[in-house]
Structure 1
């Protein structure tokens, strides 16, 4: 779509990065990841017993899972980013949480936790 906006084709040998700079269109995935990060931080700072907090901390009943690849949950992406640390505790510190927001929003291959 962005290439058609600029009226160029792949034969013009312009990189996707160049095209993105010219169109100044923000990546939808990046926006979704930023909103997810913000929402996860807000929910983890909730102190009362709201349903949003209960959903995050809920563990499924001890049942057998279906065969095949396990379904990814929305929090699996956050768990992968923090690699073993409990991100709900880190989210209590807003400054530290905001520092990591930009790195989380980047595509997975460039994402690295400090």
Structure 2
């Protein structure tokens, strides 16, 4: 189970607890979410990650943050099997492989975030 799904499950459980509704009451999550009007935690996490990535990439004066994002290991070999997802994989999926150049321009970066 993915971390986003676990976050959503936890958020729904907390919303149910806020209203004192149990699963036996058979009230749909959509209805409870409509009452609480709490922001979806998975969307919030994705937004904060996007903002943080743009902030780190735009930093200058020799800081190690942007260097770490572009770093490639010396061996270049990865283990057998499905490779583990990297922190930047979600960002690359939306902004493309040249996301670091896109993040330099705040206007472009914010427009990409909304997609």
TM-score scaled by structure 1?
Answer: 0.73
Q: Secondary structure at the match of 1:40?
A: helix
Task: Name the residue aligned to 1:23.
Answer: 36
CA gap of 1:102–1:63, structure 2 versus 1, over 3 A, is closer
Higher helix share: 2
Identify the residue that residue 81 of structure 2 maps to in structure 1: 68
TM-score, structure 2 as length reference: 0.72
Task: Give the Å deviation of 1:63.
Answer: 4.3
Show CA shifts across 1:62-99 (max 9, x none).
243222221111101101112x4411111122122122
What is the alpha-carbon distance in structure 2 between the residues aligned to residue 91 and residue 30 of structure 1?
20
Structure 2 gaps, min length 5: 1-12
Match in the other structure for 1:93 = 105
How far off its partner does 1:10 sit?
4.5
CA–CA distance in structure 1, aligned partners of residues 65 and 46 of structure 2: 18
Q: Which runs of 5+ in 1 are unaligned?
A: 104-114
